[in-house]
Amino acid sequence: MPFLNEYISRSDIEKYGLAKAYFAANPGQTELPDDYRPHWTIDRERQIILRQMRGSNPARDGDYWIEFNLQMDGKRYFIKVGIGKGSGNLSATPFVVAWSDIIDFYPPDIDAAERQDVLHVLKEALAARGYDGARRQIDNTIVTFNF
């Protein structure tokens, strides 16, 4: 089964401990809001999950990046990926999402072969994620990588 973009069901939120992560990020909250709709890119057959964690504000930070959590083979990897020069107009055809470089990779102490495997799966998941996963897709999207 390939990667799919999905909103995460309430049962999967509990199964994968996402409520705990939400409460850690939102002190004082004791219940998930009704409008809490996290999303992911998931390959259920291989049990691989890609979730966006946070991103930069290019107006404030200068650089444009997104940090992802990639879970595979029972491990979690946190990878900050730079966003390159893609399409600036959402109506462009084809629309290009360009990933420029790996800014940060955690854990840093894995061997080169494992890192290459992780980056291969990351590219596969980002290609399926397209523009913004389950939240928004744009027809005729091409995803490119410079890493």
First to last CA, the chain: 25
Q: How far apart are CA 50 and CA 126, in angstroms?
A: 8
Cis peptide before 107 (omega within 30 of 0): yes
Task: DSSP for 33-68, please give it.
Answer: -TT---EEEEETTTTEEEEEEEE--HHHHSS-EEEE
pLDDT in tens, the chain (147 residues): 699 999 999 999 989 888 988 898 889 999 999 999 999 999 999 999 999 999 998 767 677 999 999 999 999 999 999 999 999 899 999 999 999 999 999 999 999 999 999 999 999 999 999 999 999 999 999 999 999
